[in-house]
Amino acid sequence: MAELNCWVTEVVYHASTTGRPKNRDSVWVMIDVVVSEELQDSGVDDGRAYSATAQLPIRVTDDDVSEDEDDAIFHVWLSVRVGVLRVPRLQQLTSTREVILLSDASGEDGGTLRTIDFAAAIGHINALLSGLEYACFDCSDVDGVDELTIVVDDNGNSGTGGPQATTGVMQIQLG
């Protein structure tokens, strides 16, 4: 079998084959990224045993806060156990102060981090998350699964009872 060196970044569903549909549906499709032994042993010597990059389909919503509202600032913390996270547009989002980065992304590694900690309005959070990438370099000593932990704190911008936080864990298959 020939090597396939790509990944799916978007799945588009059309409700009708004729004309443009009046209603649009959104469907999230979970994709497992698996790096095979063949790729690991492909003979490419770039200083890493192998790598896999995947865009992660994550979105933050709040019933009490509009995505267009810039006053409600949320705190988001993303962390992986083994791999690294990268946001290609991070420099642009932080330079315009749309996103306040609380992690140190000033390394020689191109802004890849095991933990990304930031604050922003929901619309800007989702702009950042839409480009979130995961990569695992030299993960041969791993049990085949990494976990992305996501913590969102609304800083009191949701309903009554003061600040509320929620945590979610997403498994990433490494193969």
The model's confidence at residue 19, banded by pLDDT at 50, 70 and 90, is: very low
What is the per-residue pLDDT for 113? 82
Query: Is 46 inside a domain boundary?
Result: yes
Query: Taking the CB of residue 135, how many other CB atoms lie within 10 A of it?
Result: 17
pLDDT tens for each residue of 132-168 = 888 887 676 677 788 888 888 888 776 666 777 888 8
Rounded CA-CA distance 39/136 in Å is 13
Query: Is 47 inside a domain boundary?
Result: yes
Are 173 and 32 within 8 A, CB to CB?
yes
Query: Is 24 inside a domain boundary?
Result: no
Q: Is 95 left (phi over 0), alpha (psi -120 to 50) or beta?
A: alpha
pLDDT tens for each residue of 112-136 = 788 988 888 888 888 888 778 888 8
Helix H, strand E, coil C: the string for the chain is CCCCCCCCCCCCCCCCCCCCCCCCCCCCCCCCCCCCHHHHCCCCCCCCCCEEEEECCCCCCECCECCCCCCCCEEEEEEECCCEEECCCHHHHHHCCCEEECCCCCCCCCCCECEEEEEECHHHHHHHHHCCEEEEECCCCCCCEEEEEEEEECCCCCCCCCCCEEEEEEEEECC
Number of domains in the chain: 1
Query: Is 48 inside a domain boundary?
Result: yes
What b/e string do you get for 58-81 counting C-beta neighbours within 10 Å, with b at 16 or more?
Answer: bebebeebeeeeeebbbbbbbbbe
What is the per-residue pLDDT for 7? 40
For residue 55, pLDDT over 50 is answered with: yes
Residues spanned by the domain of 111: 37-173
pLDDT tens for each residue of 67-92 = 666 778 888 999 988 888 887 777 77
Query: Is 5 inside a domain boundary?
Result: no
Query: Is 3 inside a domain boundary?
Result: no
Query: Is 8 inside a domain boundary?
Result: no
Percentage, residues of the chain above pLDDT 70: 51
Are 128 and 89 within 8 A, CB to CB?
yes
For residue 9, pLDDT over 70 is answered with: no
79: CATH:
2.60.40
Q: Phi, psi at residue 145, to the nearest 5°?
A: -135, 135
